Amino acid sequence: MSAIKKVVLAYSGGLDTSVILKWLQEEYQCEVVTFTADLGQGEEVEPARAKAQAMGVKDIFIEDVREEFVRDFVFPMFRANTVYEGEYLLGTSIARPLIAKRLVEIANETGADAISHGATGKGNDQVRFELGAYALKPGVKVIAPWREWDLNSREKLMSYAETHGIPVDFAKNKKKSPYSMDANLLHISYEGGGLEDPWWGAEEDMWRWSVSPENAPDQAEEIVIGYEKGDPVSINGERLSPANLLLKLNQLGGKHGIGRLDLVENRYVGMKSRGCYETPGGTIMLRAHRAIESITLDREVAHLKDELMPRYASLIYNGYWWSPERRMMQTMIDASQERVNGEVRLRLYKGNVIVDGRRSERDSLFSASIATFEDDQGAYNQKDAEGFIKLNALRMRIAAGRG
């Protein structure tokens, strides 16, 4: 008899997690609680309720966490201008700590002994889910079916579903994408299929949110994003909630072919992986945030942030959102944003985000009277530069003197 009496499963309602649900019931002889998160993936999550009920699940949690996701995870990450390996905006990575948090919270609420997820033993998500769970509930038991069972192909999963009467007609009748996809309000990722050959070019109809830059409008569109303490709060003067603001930027970016990425990345488990990503709103936010910081951040603060960002990005990519070092870095990053207030004007045009202006009435460090090429009325004494240069050259002059 299994020591596990109740387990909370991260449940999408798709083939994989439906099979996992039944497998947990059969293998562990335990009660299964399901958790389905609406992260803005663009698909209805409510049908998961009927599927879970049909399989005997009594405790079903279906939650709209879009605002929490953007406010408490996406925005804090973007305050750091976070990019992994120079390109990836971490759309999948940043959603996992929120899911892990809710799995643990629901386990506490329902008295469950364990949590379970559908991540495979080859990917990063298993690490992200489990590191988060252990950080928040040290004694939690984690069940990862892909590391235990032998159902290692779609054919075996379908056969198991048919044998056990699992309702998967939805998977048969709908047109199935050849890719493994993950979507939320920040991005869509595509992996597998032809993308496993890094020389193979993705077909145009793979992309869901954006037109190709070639087919984008021939006229640029101008927008103004307002910032308060490092977070975007308005578009063209209209204040929006975090989730609605990102949704609007996704629509604008997708319309203009912005945010497509084809990347070979280094997974935490050691292998290289090729994926394609659509992050239209995030691409706009990154450019706009750097623009408003350019006039409001002290030089050394800005440079220190840039030095620390790759480490911060790796922590998120590798699943350490709930670690003490990430929390410590976040405190520093958030402190740097206290005076990052103002507006950025952008032009969106055929895959490009073009900064066209930035201003901050109260917090700008830009002084036209000092930076001007015209007469500065004595605001800056150019003779001061001579001593500055000689002092900074001193060590090189001494070294050169050795011959």
Instruction: Please name the residue ranges forming H helices in 265-383.
Output: 280-296, 299-318, 324-336, 368-371
- DSSP for 117-180? ----TTSSHHHHHHHHHHHH-TT-EEE-GGGT-S--SHHHHHHHHHHTT---HHHHHSPPPSSE
Q: What is the pLDDT of residue 140?
A: 96
Closest residue by Cα to residue 98 from 124, 66, 127, 122: 66
Q: What pTM was estimated for this model as a whole?
A: 0.94
Residue the block writes with tokens 């489990």:
130
Q: Could you say which of 96, 102, 326, 358 is catalytic?
A: 96
Residue 379 CB partners (closer than 8 Å, separation 6+):
367, 369, 370
Closest residue by Cα to residue 91 from 78, 102, 104, 80: 78
CB atoms closer than 10 angstroms to residue 202: 16
Length of the chain: 403
Q: What is the pLDDT of residue 154?
A: 81
Q: Could you say which of 49, 59, 72, 180 is catalytic?
A: 180
pLDDT in tens, 39-71: 999 888 999 999 999 999 999 999 999 999 999
Burial bucket for residue 279 (CB in 10 Å: 0-12, 13-18, 19+): buried
Tokens of 85: 């390996």
Q: What is the pLDDT of residue 375?
A: 87
- DSSP for 57-120? ---EEEEE-HHHHIIIIIHHHHHTT--BTTTB--TTGGGHHHHHHHHHHHHHHHT-SEEE----
CATH code, 183-297+340-359: 3.90.1260.10
Q: Is 150 a catalytic residue?
A: no
Options 3.40.50.720, 2.30.40.10, 3.30.360.10, 3.40.50.620; CATH for 6-66+90-176 is 3.40.50.620
Ranges for all domains in the chain classified under CATH 3.40.50.620 = 6-66+90-176
- Average pLDDT (32-43) is 95
Q: Pick the residue with more confidence: 385 or 154?
A: 385
* Lowest mean pLDDT across 150-159, 191-200, 292-301: 150-159
Q: Is 337 helix (H, G, I), strand (E, B) or coil?
A: coil
Closest residue by Cα to residue 80 from 289, 265, 260, 315: 289
Query: Is the per-residue pLDDT at 141 higher than 90?
Result: yes
Query: Is the per-residue pLDDT at 170 higher than 90?
Result: no
- Average pLDDT (4-16) is 94
- CA separation (Å) from 371 to 147, 176, 341, 381? 61, 58, 21, 12
With beta carbons less than 8 A apart as the criterion, state whether 209 and 280 touch.
yes
Q: Could you say which of 12, 113, 116, 125 is catalytic?
A: 125
Confidence band for 143, pLDDT divided at 50, 70 and 90: very high
Q: Could you say which of 16, 38, 113, 182 is catalytic?
A: 16
Q: What is the pLDDT of residue 172?
A: 45
Q: Is 96 a catalytic residue?
A: yes
Q: Is the dihedral of CA 229, 234, 239, 244 positive or negative?
A: negative
Query: Is the per-residue pLDDT at 148 higher than 60?
Result: yes
- Average pLDDT (193-207) is 95
Q: Is 306 a catalytic residue?
A: no
Q: Is 169 a catalytic residue?
A: no
Ranges for all domains in the chain classified under CATH 3.90.1260.10 = 183-297+340-359
Residue 107 has φ and ψ, to the nearest 5°, of: -60, -40
Confidence band for 376, pLDDT divided at 50, 70 and 90: confident
How far is the C-alpha of 84 from the C-alpha of 235, rounded, in Å? 27
Closest residue by Cα to residue 310 from 132, 87, 119: 87
- Average pLDDT (217-221) is 98
Closest residue by Cα to residue 37 from 7, 5, 69, 77: 69
Mean of all residue pLDDT scores within the chain: 95
Q: What is the pLDDT of residue 329?
A: 98
How far is the C-alpha of 376 from the C-alpha of 380, rounded, in Å? 7
* Lowest mean pLDDT across 231-240, 291-300, 368-377: 368-377
Confidence band for 171, pLDDT divided at 50, 70 and 90: very low
Burial bucket for residue 197 (CB in 10 Å: 0-12, 13-18, 19+): exposed
Task: Please report which helix (H) or strand (E) contains residue 359, including its range.
Answer: strand 352-359
Q: What is the pLDDT of residue 169?
A: 55
- Integer Rg of the chain from CA: 25
Residues facing 344 on adjacent strands: 225, 358
